[in-house]
Structure 1
Amino acid sequence: MDGFGTESSNQYVVELDKHVFHSWSVQESAAPIAIAGAQGCTLWDFEGKQYLDFSSQLVNTNIGHQHPKVIDAIKAQAETLVTIAPATANLTRGEAAKRILDRAPSHFKKVFFTNAGADANENAIRMARQFTGRDKVLSAYRSYHGNTGSAIAATGDFRRVPNEYSRGHVHFFNPYLYRTEFNAQTEAQECERALQHLKRVIECEGPHAIAAIILETIPGTAGFLLPPEGYLQGVRELATEHGIQLIFDEVMVGFGRTGRWFAFEHFNVIPDLITFAKGVNSGYVPAGGVIVSDAISEYFKSNFFMGGLTYSGHPLAMSAIVATLDAMEEEGIVRYADEIGNKVLGPALIELMEQHQCIGDIRGKGMFWALELVEDRATREPLSNSKIASLKAKMTEKGLLTFIVNNRIHVAPPLIIKPNEIAQGVAIISQALAELG
């Protein structure tokens, strides 16, 4: 019996799900699996079939499922103060903000809490526009920033096109050597030419009209695209030269995913605003936010901020943040993600490339890797949609939950995954690729 007094089964739960309108899908083609429970890196259905979570769901369950310290913290908060208006002083919210700032660069002074990553990006853009008095926002074509007004307009992929209701958005090509837009042969060429392209976009759009450049530090949904050495430093220099606010979207890569608290730490670059969500509390209760620099914080000391949310700093979400960050610190999870991700997961995936000709490229850092699948390595033609669909079905049937985007398998397991679980997941990918032929 489930918590609502009804006999539960896979069939019953899937039947109930027909009442749900699913995101990013043709409704009649939605075919979800039923999940009854989870622990660590493992989920199971109502018949006991187990699945290995090789994607952290949507790259958010960084500390795994059902971490006891976080569950206990949420329960304790529910018994004390389950909700409160954001204008009040909230002990747990203050503790969450302090812990986040303790891990951010020293000149960040405040945290604005949101409900998720999309509205974190939305409000970072709002802050930059109000702070600069400018309107335009530059972002990459290969990007995803969320599904609210400005966030989806800032997004570069095809989902943007029917949703462009926000004004002032301009896109540019970010570096991606494997499918270069700049006829580059090396990382250095790709970096130099991508920066020259961005410089020209800024010049043509009017430097004094641009409020912000928003970039995923390492683009996630677009393909786990590691920026070449020097690129983010070059973007920072262009932004500084023209008084443009630089926003790093760390929604997917923040809080340990790449083996650092923030992904920008790998590149020796500091933005003006940092957005976060997902891993900050492993997605246990929806939460996101903007980490605000001292300069912008000072501006809003005497200028009214035109933004707010009913559930900003919701106590249950804040308790999950506090417990998650404490657990990550106490258990050395970020250091573990760096070591195991780069010494076990990465090499295991690279070895797959020697076994399967359909893998055209592998790239990643920490617990954040992508396999790009092709019909032919020479032409780099992406693997067909029908083959990708078949591959995903095969992996799911074999008990592996993956994050498939276009012709790529995105491998981003919980940061706590054990080496034997990595071996299990990689073996399933290899088996499915072999069966695909």
Structure 2
Amino acid sequence: MTHQATVSKNYSHIYGQFLLVVVLSCLVLTSCNSLSKAQKSSDNSLTHLSTAVRGDDKGHVVRFNLRQEADSFRVYQPAPHHIQLAIFSDAINTENISVPDGSALLNDVAFHKIPHGIGVDIELQPDYTYDSDLYRDGQSDDLLLGLTDTDQEKLAQNTQERDPIQWSQSPFPPSNGSSAGMQRASLPEDTAYQKVKDKMKFDVVVLDPGHGGHDTGAIGHNNLLEKKIVLQIAKKVGGYINEYLPEVEVVYTRDDDRFIELEERGRIANRKEGDLFVSIHCNATRSRQPYGSEVYFLGLERSQTALEVMKRENRVVRANSNVEQKKLSQKDLLIYELANSGYITTSERIAGMLEHQFSERAQRRSRGVKQARFVVLYHASMPAVLVETGFISNPNEAQYLSSDYGQSIIASAIFRAIRNYKEQQENPQQQPQTK
């Protein structure tokens, strides 16, 4: 055998061993990945509960800290101070859960094994009268139990004919070591329980035309009034929603020329259980040069321009012509973020979708997505954005925004962003429309 043949044979042998090692490594990695995924899918934990006062001071939020996202969930309120949750996630573990001791809000919390998940019984302290709603935190895998102030008689009437869910298996040890009053049976075929609103469903949009009544808002070129333009645009947005998304309810904070307090606009949205709050405005400056749209979400302003817009939109003109400047502190923002962390992230995403539609659909100059401490956004406990549709101090833009054509284009852009967000919210695996 020649030297060349020997080298070739050795090379083939080494190469064969190399391929064998590669194949075995791939098999090991694949096996490990599969095992890891299997372990992950069957190893969900509810680690602890925490509570916070809502940013609008209209209730509380209870956060359920989960290692992984729950498959699905339901909330049911059989009595004014008794709330029951069903959280579905295979092999969910609550053995090491931490529940607040001596809570001013929670009187008792008990956990129960149910098929494919856990049941939770929550007894509130008798001082609180809350409606309840359960939804996902858009920023994490956590679930948030929203508790909203409500009328005591109304709540008692709504819950008087409801029987509590009687769980099928023995409860885990509750937070205070007592399981008094927690019965055992099976999940009922309760129509009220089955019809509880799924928070992933998008079915209420709140449109907020800024200013109104004695508060004219900005006064633009040729004495053009902001309050008039934004109401017309809001109604066009609502018209598009009614036509193309008839399953979505449109709520207006005002549908005529009236004055509504900034705080009350958010309360209207909360009472209607809105899924999205869109406040519509027009910009103005002393200079006639600036033009273009910009979209805001709640946060600490990062530019002098954002600060000036925030001050203007937080300014309230009273009927006696006195001006009141509303303010939000950084502490207020921190409280809001604790109770509504997912909303801020979602609001920023929606603001980006609106900005895209203004530049692509409406062919308007985009001044970008910004953040500022708007009082009207602070009081809406849901994803919320404020849209500055353009500068009515600019003669060309004032003419555009006061025309039926311009308003229709702007309204169409807002509608398309709402439609795309609805698609993302209800079908997170699908690519949203971009046109």
Q: Same fold (TM over 0.5)?
A: no
More strand by share: 2
Report the TM-score, using the length of structure 1 for normalisation.
0.21
Larger radius of gyration: 2
More helix by share: 1
Relative contact order, higher structure (CA 8 A, sep 6+) = 1
